[in-house]
Structure 1
Amino acid sequence: MERPIIEIMDTTLRDGEQTSGVSFVAREKIMIARLLLEDLKVDRVEVASARVSEGEFNAVKMICDWASARNMLSRVEVLGFVDGKVSVDWIHKAGCRVINLLTKGSEKHCTYQLKKTLAEHVADIREVVRYAQQCDMSVNVYLEDWSNGIKDSPDYVFGLIDGLQDMGIKRFMLPDTLGILNPLQVIEFMRKMKKRYPDLHFDFHAHNDYDLAVSNVLAAVLSGVKGLHTTINGLGERAGNAPLASVQAILKDHFQAITHIDESRLNDVSRVVESYSGVTIPANKPIVGDSVFTQVAGVHADGDNKNNLYCNDLLPERFGRVREYALGKTSGKANIRKNLERLGLELDEEAMRKVTERIIQLGDRKELVTQEDLPYIISDVLKHDGANNKVRLLSYFVTLAQGLKPMATLNIEIDGKTYQESSSGDGQYDAFVRALRKIYKGVLKRTFPMLVNYAVSIPPGGRTDAFVHTVITWSYEGREFRTRGLDADQTEAAIKATIKMLNIIEES
């Protein structure tokens, strides 16, 4: 079977900008156009609609000047309308040489929106096409609402194309404008088009109202379509358009189709468009979502070590990404070892057991554990494993209420004896330390270390809802030393560092 060659036209800058709340400024448009054409290597880009605004005109002019200097002008397209010379003049003046002419692809649209007959509409279209060609412009034609047209009024659709096919129109672009089709219908209707017009170039333009855009795009390829329209991240009106990343992956892996797309740049370009558009990419969005190349279950990480048992053809390296192994309550030793390998760390079995237990404990509290947190966890667990500690915090209770000083009550075991004390303070941790100091100074008649410095940080790449790393410097009997605490709660982290300090002085 011959591998199909598919032409990709990306319309992020035109149809994608019709996403609710999305508007690209001129500099963003030219940056996205450059990324699409130079980095991703899409075949064509649709960058605007004619007559929108002066700002849009300037953006198109900038893109066309840039493309012209790089011999890419023929790959830049602008949507135009059947309005005599107006759209053509606007597009031509902006420097663009390809017009995508929006015609009515259903009898209903022609009758109720234009209030014209098919013959009248065809005559108007031919006038615009002739004028564009006189201006040395290439013409593609959109059949707006084609999906309803071919379903409800196929004779109208055929009559429209019959009236235009002698005009030298380069592409007839067939949109599922309202996203109403399913894949079986796409195959049925597209094959009718191909059978009747075997020599015409057809593009398919999908919308995602039923979450079928990608499926419909692939059905169109099965039916012999030569061109597809996509957007980055599936941007577009209502539920959006077919996302380029998903379309590319399925074309290559399931149809062995040939495109010019550089897959390794898909993720980077998606992130730029996410930033410019303000539309966040869902974490589980195929190919470009944050978590789609993250193994969570420990058994999956173990399988990856055994001949890649849990890998498919969607290898992250294809898309400029790497596989990650989540750390949480479902993490096994394999997940942790994968992360340790990335960090260049190695632990024995007993240490692995302790670290695994700690990560599972944190996962049960719904804390997010990142790879960057791992060295801190290892330090926290292995340096102070608590097995022979002389000081153990049995329980504590802290309160914070508006208009009242924070209070702390603690129950602590020191050398096998239990002590309880309460105190107020300037903060929750201060109240805890004051209560502790009462026990050491008032009951035990012992010197309590002086707090010299208190530093709080979030491990690099960590999340504020995951860990707080607290380092406290103490002065005791003429020497200074530091203890560390790691927890999602700042007070808890400081208390852990303090209990570690007490065990150090008990051993000295």
Structure 2
Amino acid sequence: MPKPAARFIEIMDTTLRDGEQTNGVSFSPSEKLTIARLLLTELKVDRIEIASARVSEGELAAVKAITKWAKANDLLNRVEVLTFVDGDVSVDWMLKAGAKVMNLLTKGSLNHLTHQLKKKPEQHFAEVAAVIALAGKKGLECNIYLEDWSNGMRHSREYVFQYLDFLQHEPVKRVMLPDTLGVLIPSEAAAFITETVQRYPAIHFDFHAHNDYDLGTANVLEAVKAGVKGIHLTVNGMGERAGNAPLASAIAVLNDFVPSVRTSVAEKALYRASKLVETFSGLRIPGNKPVVGENVFTQTAGIHADGDKKNKLYFSDLMPERFGRQRVYALGKTSGKANIENNLLQLGIHLSEPDLKKVTKRIIELGDRKEAVTQADLPFIISDILDSKTIGEKVKIENYVLTHSRDLKPSVTLKIRVEGELYEESAQGDGQYDAFMNALKKVYRKRKQELPALTDYSVHIPPGGKSDALCETIITWKYNKKEFKTRGLDSDQTVSAIKATQKMLNL
């Protein structure tokens, strides 16, 4: 017997609408366009919700830019906007913005209807029908949100089904079921959606999860198993309060645990999308965030590294290569020889057993003192312990002058010795470190050498407000498709970054 075809699940990403409701986050029109293009063309989500109607002139400009691009690329029917039951106001806004798909926000619980709108169900239904009819007349496609649907199912199920009895005869493409307050537990999500889908088999239902109890991904899993045809997600789980169900986690869970369904999302683009949204939003991804966090493919315990080396004992289906990432073996007080050997192997360094024991001992000592150790620190630790002449300092920054003046671009004059040859260059930049890097690039252009690309720059300053506190700068570089980190420590932030850069140059 041939296997039945996998059921297709639509993925609607709402990072640019619901995700932008994250406290303190606001994307510029150009950032919105960049994210929209990435989501539709690289990540390959099916639909994107990009804004709420009537919010601001900036929002209108952003929507116009996205719809113009989408129309030119035959993607306009995959771009959606949240609208309201407000007569012709939202519809006119949609036409002005060039959008074609509206997601109409309506009341999915009697509590919301009674206390927020102060209306009877029949009155609300009539107003909804009028907006749907107007949208159809103007050539717009309409989806319907049942706001607070989860509480509606808990406390006013008769109202929810009365509303769906009405909607099943309306010209709407999708009915979207939000857990607006993120209150569902997985068993409720499964029961409520199973009952709803079985009662209205002709309706296309989407599920929209929030993450207030950290159950967003679990509820998405249950919703899909219960028969929804689409799910709403956000990059990095951004959204109001605790956010929405995170895109990367939900896709990984569906791919690994629901073989009867498929999505169009390209797993390898998930990490890139996550980092781009992190940069534009200013909202840092926690190190332990599944799939996209800095530490989720990092083995810290020595016993894990030893098991991986012997028979991949600590591997699971959640392999980093699926997401364009690689496994890392951390260095610290719990490191064993296997961790250190894995890192040395990546650097092309081989040590004898006695020397390896000495290096392991030193790294454990540093970890006990809470000092961070990166792979790029290893050559310097080896050099210090073993007095090794094979790992020398081939690049030395001899001197530099950093200037910063009001209404003038920061500038740097740099003197650097590379393999015995002395160079001096000056440059300006958007900041002192940027000016330093511009001067450094001039030197390496003379040498016909390419510098690694800087992919991340993080600064750690101890709490307490002391002006002379040591500042740690950790810079992530990419070279020949591999990433590595270097670390600098100084009371001056720019100097600590320069020290981290000198370590990179010596690698």
Shift of 1:4: 3.0
> CA offset at residue 111 of structure 1?
1.4
Once the 2 structures are TM-superposed, how far is the Cα of residue 151 of structure 1 from its aligned partner? 1.2
CA distance in 1, matches of 2:183, 2:240: 14
Check conservation: 2:382, 2:388, Cα contact below 8 A: no
* Kept after mapping to 1: 8 A contact 2:207/2:223: yes
Runs of 4+ in 1 over 2 A off after TM superposition: 1-4, 460-468, 486-490
CA contact (8 A) 1:368 1:463 kept: no
* Cα deviation 1:99-151 (Å, max 9, x = unaligned): 00001011111111111111111111111111111111111000001011111
**One-letter amino acid of the counterpart of residue 331, structure 1:** S
Name the CA distance, whole Å, in 2 between partners of 1:330 and 1:182.
37
Q: 1:135 maps to what in 2?
A: 138
State the distance in 2 between where 1:163 and 1:271 align: 43
C-alpha separation in 2, matches of 1:271 and 1:337? 29
> Is 1:225 aligned to 2:212, yes or no?
no
User: Could you say if the C-alpha distance between residues 119 and 488 of structure 1 is closer, same or farther in structure 2, counting changes exceeding 3 Å?
Assistant: closer
Structure-2 residue corresponding to 1:278? 282
User: Does structure 2 retain, via aligned residues, the 8 Å contact 1:354–1:381?
Assistant: yes
Residue in structure 2 matched with residue 180 of structure 1 by the alignment:
183
Please give the residue correspondences for 1:28-67 in structure 2 after superposition, counting only pairs within 5 Å.
28-67=31-70
CA apart distance, 1:309: 0.7
The residue that corresponds to 1:327 in the other structure is 331
Pick the structure with greater CA Rg. 1
Q: Does 1:344 align with 2:354?
A: no
Once the two structures are TM-superposed, the CA of residue 488 in structure 1 deviates from its matched residue by 6.7
CA shift at 1:487, angstroms? 10
**Deviation at residue 55 of structure 1 after TM alignment:** 0.9
What per-residue deviation string (whole Å, max 9, x for no partner) do you get for residues 275-311 of structure 1?
1111111000000111111100111111111221100
- Quote the residue 1:88 is aligned against: 91
Gaps of 5+ in 1: 386-459, 469-485, 491-508
Instruction: Give how far 1:155 is off.
Output: 1.2
**Distance of aligned partners of 1:75 and 1:325 in 2 relative to their CA distance in 1, 3 Å threshold:** same
Equivalent position of 1:355 in the other structure: 359
Contact 2:177 2:207 in 1 (8 A): yes
Amino acid at match of 1:231: T
Partner of 1:248: 251
Matched to 1:83, the amino acid is D
Task: Classify the secondary structure of the residue corresponding to 1:140.
Answer: strand
CA distance 1:380–1:298, shift in 2 (3 Å): same
Residue 265 (structure 1) shift? 1.1
CA distance in 2 between partners of 1:26 and 1:462 (Å): 26
Report the Cα offset of residue 209 of structure 1: 1.0
- Give yes or no for contact 2:12–2:48 (8 Å, CA) kept in 1: yes
The share of aligned pairs that are identical, in percent, is: 59
Name the CA distance, whole Å, in 2 between partners of 1:200 and 1:191: 13
Matches within 5 A, 1:32-431: 32-256=35-259, 257-383=261-387
Paired residues of 2:333 and 2:365 also in contact (CA < 8 A): yes
For residue 48 of structure 1, give the secondary structure of its aligned residue in structure 2.
strand
C-alpha distance in 1 between matches for 2:59 and 2:339: 50
One-letter identity of the residue aligned with 2:353: E
Contact 1:369 1:466 in 2 (8 A): no
TM norm structure 1: 0.76
User: Which whole-Å CA distance do the structure 2 matches of 1:209 and 1:358 have between them?
Assistant: 43
- Residue aligning to 2:25: 22
Task: Please name the residue that 1:430 is paired with.
Answer: none
1:372 maps to a residue whose letter is A
CA RMSD of aligned residues (A): 2.1
SS in 1 for 2:144: strand
Q: Using the alignment, how far apart are the partners of 1:168 and 1:351 within structure 2? A: 75
What is the CA–CA distance in structure 2 between the aligned matches of 1:358 and 1:72, rounded to whole Å? Answer: 57
* Other structure's SS at 1:306 match: helix
Higher mean C-alpha displacement, 141-150 vs 297-306: 297-306
Contact 2:70 2:76 in 1 (8 A): yes
Match of 1:453 in 2: none
- Does the Cα contact within 8 Å between 1:370 and 1:462 map onto a contact in 2? no
Cα gap change, 1:153 to 1:349, in 2 (>3 Å): same
- Tell me, yes or no, if the aligned pair for 2:331 and 2:373 is still in contact at 8 Å: yes
Query: Judging changes above 3 Å, is the alpha-carbon distance between structure 1 residues 384 and 57 closer, same or farther for their aligned structure 2 residues?
Result: closer
Q: Is the 8 A contact 2:7 2:262 kept in 1?
A: yes
- The answer to whether the 8 Å contact 1:14/1:47 transfers is yes
Q: Answer whether contact 2:271 2:292 (CA < 8 A) is retained.
A: yes
For the residues of structure 2 that align with 1:246 and 1:260, how far apart are their CA atoms?
15
Give the TM-score, by structure 2 length: 0.76
